[in-house]
Amino acid sequence: MGITRSYVHGPSHIPLLGETIGECLDRITVACGERDALISCHQRVRYTYSELHREAERIACGLLALGVEPGDRVGIWSPNCAEWLIAQYALAKVGAITVNINPAYRLRELEYALQQSGVSVLIAARRFRDGDYVAMLNELAPKLPSLRTVVYLGPDREQGGITWHDLAVQGESVAESRLRERESALQFDDSINIQYTSGTTGAPKGATLSHHSILNNGFFVGERLRYTTNDRICLPVPFYHCFGCVLGSLAALTHGSAIVLPAESFDAEACLRAVQEERCTSLYGVPTMFIAQLEHPAFSRYRIDSLRTGIMAGAPCPIDVMRQVTERMHMPEVTICYGMTETSPVSFQSSVDDPLEARVATVGTVHPHIECKIVDPRTGAAVLRGEPGELCTRGYSVMLGYWNDPEATALAIDSARWMHSGDLAAVREDGYVNIVGRLKDMIIRGGENIYPREIEEFLHGHPKIGDVQVIGVPDSKYGEEVCAWIRLREGETATQEEIRDYCRGQIATYKIPRYIRFTTEFPMTVTGKIQKFRLREQMIQELGLTTEQTA
């Protein structure tokens, strides 16, 4: 008998799409022009595919009028809105690289992303929650020499910027033939998207993705969900993340389905209302979003029996929650997805008819046209089927590289083009994959990936802090919470609130440590390495937390 290695691939009779995102929008508009494409409930606007196509081309011409060239980086810094999706398609038509900016970013993070990617045009909201975007951009302006134009959403002009309407008006002077000429020069292998993903080695890295990678990934996600032109996707997850701009917008686009935005950010009742009013057939979210809807006092007042399917991703799902979603939310065909930004993002997904156990105990089976193997992280050799090791992915979905960072790219993608995930996984005999742990120290809080090293380096800038170690500890609501162990400099004193005040306005709110513990020393190995697992164990004991696994 031969040895069975931990290797799986996704054979498929369905070919990959060989077109740009703009070409796909043109094709779908011809076929589905009068069907709904986008409904933004909080903005009270709706577009058919013909109307969405027209708006995308108006903005594309505006970008040409601004002098945007193929390969230029254009950032979008906004919560969910119709303009985000229109901009995504407009930028694809002119060949500019969309740089996704997290709406929760504050000064330090925003400055880094804009500088590192060299953004020349930024499309921005005016504010989000307690963040005044205009004030932040005005403060950072002297430090951003490459940023030449800010396009603010909404009707009012701001100093140093133009409005979304101004952009569209400028485009009226651009001949349609110029846009056609630009589009004809684009290739589906061109870079089209930069998404920042933090690393354990420090600063965030810009995963650079192509038309080919994200368009096809969205298409095959939609195929596994069995989308048609009759499907309507309630999308409370953010566009800045792959969950929104690939699994959401591009899964819908490639199938002529509609996107429904319930609110600018997640709101449980807004989701329920949108599903009822727009008769949505699909709903996305991380487990905490589904829990919030199920537990909402008004849950029973909404009619959501139009739902059929959806995606739950970002964190392990408790089996009781999955059972309630399939039964009480009328989603018997809900699926689980697994992947990473660097792989566009989905590599594994459950099927709509998988048994409940497979949807909570595994992340499903490998996607079409994707290869995965499980390797010994020490040797790089593929392990035997069923043994744990590092999950690696190869195929059309693997990023082109980290923007302007060849060293980090070489560490992540080996010479055979395998993307190393840093996640520990095992392939079952039936081909389903279990994620069993993480090589990296990543914290997953409510679906947000948080990398301790980034927070540690920021806190190291505090004049009173001598050393800091950041870990994740269990949390019943968010899955994990951020905990910081801090050693102060000799003779210094500080309070927990003082440390949190230092973070506010500088790093995203969800990265600010919920738990802070001051210490004079850290547990070490004999070689001088800090034992983070000891810190975690001690915090769990001190706080009386449970380490019970969800599923």
Query: CA 290, CA 184: separation in Å to the nearest integer?
Result: 43
Pairing label, strands 121-124, 127-128 = unpaired
The contacts of residue 19 (CB under 8 Å, 6+ apart) are: 27, 188, 211, 215
Cα distances from 37 to residues 32, 97, 234, 256, in angstroms, run 9, 23, 12, 7
Percent over 70 (pLDDT), the chain: 96
Query: CA 428, CA 434: separation in Å to the nearest integer?
Result: 8
Structural domain boundaries in the chain: 21-421, 443-543
Q: What is the mean pLDDT of residues 186-192?
A: 98
Q: Are 250 and 345 in contact (CB under 8 A)?
A: no
Task: Give per-residue pLDDT as tens, 479-496.
Answer: 999 999 999 988 999 999
Pairing label, strands 419-427, 433-438 = antiparallel
| The predicted structure's pLDDT at residue 202 | 58
- Read off the pLDDT band of 200 (50, 70, 90): very low
* DSSP β-bridge partners for residue 97: 73
For CA atoms 449, 453, 456, 457, the dihedral sign is negative
Q: Are 389 and 377 in contact (CB under 8 A)?
A: yes
Q: What is the mean pLDDT of residues 362-378?
A: 95
Q: What is the mean pLDDT of residues 73-92?
A: 98
Q: What is the mean pLDDT of residues 41-66?
A: 98
Residue 37 or 317, more confident = 37
Task: Give per-residue pLDDT as tens, 268-321.
Answer: 999 999 999 999 999 999 888 998 899 999 999 999 999 999 999 987 777 778
CATH number for 443-543: choose from 3.30.365.10, 2.60.40.180, 3.30.300.30, 3.30.420.40: 3.30.300.30
- CA-nearest of 24, 187, 204 to 101 is 204
**What CATH number does the domain located at 21-421 have?**
3.40.50.12780
- CA-nearest of 17, 341, 411 to 188 is 17
Reported pTM: 0.86
Query: CA 291, CA 305: separation in Å to the nearest integer?
Result: 17
Which residue has 């990617």 as its token pair?
117
